[in-house]
């Protein structure tokens, strides 16, 4: 049913998969996500749509191998099928009319930043892309970003590649030096929190793509709830993108750790090969 057409490792623990799913591909747009299950016992894994192809009837997702569910998914190879795939879910990114935009991706979040950069590029916006990683070894999608963005900055925490430091440094320079309509940010929660802090004094509309724990993805369970501007929002139907200046990031960070102990046990059960990244949300990118 949902056949894997291509599988490609982007770094030691990040994998790109193109999957046949005509129903999800039909209306898929940048910013939306799918939920898939590797097998009949599998957890429902929310993954942002990295690319989609209506003609081929496929969606492409990028996942990081971080827990039991993604380890099960990673056992499948091209030619095999995932048990279920639902989508597109969530609202598409609101990019219409934006002329000058900065897109800030962190770690595997860059996988979601890329389709956004592509969509902006295609509508003729001037796009600055900033991608941050822990270290050179895990840098992904560098060529793709360079090809699509008008300006591209790469940072690593340890200085092994690109600029030494975090994404907020090039971001601060950009917004100091020019006028931008919006900043989009996608990555670990602490990073997005600091991106929001960086842009706040400049009053630049800043949008964060949130990745809370999810089950159904249709507004039924409420486990993806966030506080935005003092109001309760469900990331799966009201988002996943929200005004970063209004998001209660500390609460989101606390909630993302609900199943820490369970996840650690599941990882230990599967194997000890992989290390979970900072990004402890439900969306395993």
Partner 1 sequence: MNNSRIPMPVQAPEERIKNFSEVALGYNEEAAISEAERCMNCKTHPCTAACPVGVRIPEFIACIKEGRFEEAYSVVRADNALPAVCGRVCPQERQCEGSCLRQKAGGPIAIGRLERFVADRHAAQGGTPSKAPASGRKVAVVGSGPAGLACAGELAARGYAVTVFEALHLAGGVLAYGIPEFRLPKRIVNQEIAALEEMGVTFVKNAVIGRSLTVSELRAEGFAAVFLGTGAGLPNFMNIPGENARGVFSANEYLTRINLMKAYEEDAETPVFRAKQVAVVGGGNVAMDAARCARRLGAEVTVVYRRSEEELPARREEVEHAREEGIGFAFLTNPVEVLTREGDVCGLRCVKMQLGAPDASGRRRPTAVAGSEHDRAADCVIMALGTSPNPLIGQTTEGLELRGRGEIFADENGRTSLRGVYAGGDAVTGAATVILAMGAGKRAARAIDEDIRSGIL
> In the complex, which residues of this chain contact ligand FES (CB under 6 A)?
214-217, 219-224, 234, 236
For the bound state, the minimum distance from the C-beta of residue 24 to ligand FES, rounded and expressed in Å, comes to 16
- CB 159 → partner 1: shortest distance, Å? 33
Backbone phi, psi, residue 64, to 5°: -105, 135
CA atoms of 253 and 219, how far apart (whole Å)? 20
Structure tokens that stand for 275 in this block: 């290390």
Range list of H helices, 200-259: 235-238, 249-255
**By the 8 A CB rule, do 65 and 71 touch?**
yes
Distances (CA, A) of 246 to 12, 226, 227, 230, 254: 35, 11, 8, 8, 17
Chosen from partner 1, ligand FES, none, partner binding at 26 (C-beta under 5 to 8 Å by type) = partner 1
Name which of ligand FES, partner 1, none residue 23 binds, using a CB cut-off of 5 to 8 Å depending on partner kind. Answer: partner 1
Question: Is the Cβ of residue 72 or residue 93 nearer to partner 1 in the bound state?
Answer: 72
Please state the closest distance from residue 121 (CB atom) to ligand FES, in A.
30
The binding site for partner 1 (CB under 8 A) comprises: 23-24, 26-27, 37, 41-44, 68-69, 72, 83-89, 215-223, 225-227, 232, 237, 251, 254-255, 257-259, 262-263, 266, 269
- Kindly tell me which of 24 and 120 has the beta carbon lying closer to ligand FES: 24
251 binds, among ligand FES, partner 1, none (CB under 5 to 8 A by kind): partner 1
Q: How far apart are CA 58 and CA 124, in angstroms?
A: 25
Residues paired with residue 281 on neighbouring β-strands, in sequence order:
none
């Amino acid at each position: 049913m949902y056949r894997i057409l291509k599988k490609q490792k982007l770094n030691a623990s990040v994998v790109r998969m193109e999957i046949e799913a005509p129903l999800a591909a039909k209306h898929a747009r940048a910013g939306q996500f799918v939920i898939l299950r590797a097998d009949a016992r599998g957890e429902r894994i929310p993954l942002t749509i990295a690319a989609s192809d209506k003609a081929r009837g496929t969606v492409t997702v990028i996942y990081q191998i971080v827990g039991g569910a993604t380890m099960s998914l990673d056992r499948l190879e091209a030619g095999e099928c995932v048990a279920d795939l639902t989508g597109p879910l969530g609202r598409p990114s609101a990019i219409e009319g934006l002329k000058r935009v900065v897109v800030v991706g962190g770690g595997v979040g860059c996988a979601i930043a890329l389709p956004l950069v592509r969509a902006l590029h295609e509508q003729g916006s001037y796009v600055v892309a900033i991608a941050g990683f822990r270290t050179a070894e895990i840098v992904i999608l560098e060529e793709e970003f360079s090809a699509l963005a008008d300006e591209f900055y790469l940072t690593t925490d340890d200085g092994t590649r690109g600029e030494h430091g975090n994404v907020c440094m090039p971001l601060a320079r950009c917004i100091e030096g020019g006028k931008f309509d919006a900043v989009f940010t996608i990555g670990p929660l602490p990073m997005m929190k600091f991106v929001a802090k960086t842009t706040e004094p400049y009053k630049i509309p800043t949008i964060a793509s949130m990745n809370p724990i999810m089950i159904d993805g249709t507004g039924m369970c409420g486990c993806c709830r966030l506080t935005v501007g003092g109001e309760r929002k469900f990331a799966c139907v009201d988002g996943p993108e929200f005004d970063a200046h209004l998001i209660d990031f500390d609460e989101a960070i606390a909630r993302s750790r609900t199943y820490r102990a369970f996840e650690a046990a599941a990882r230990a059960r599967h194997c000890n090969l992989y290390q979970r990244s900072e990004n402890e949300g439900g969306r395993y990118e």
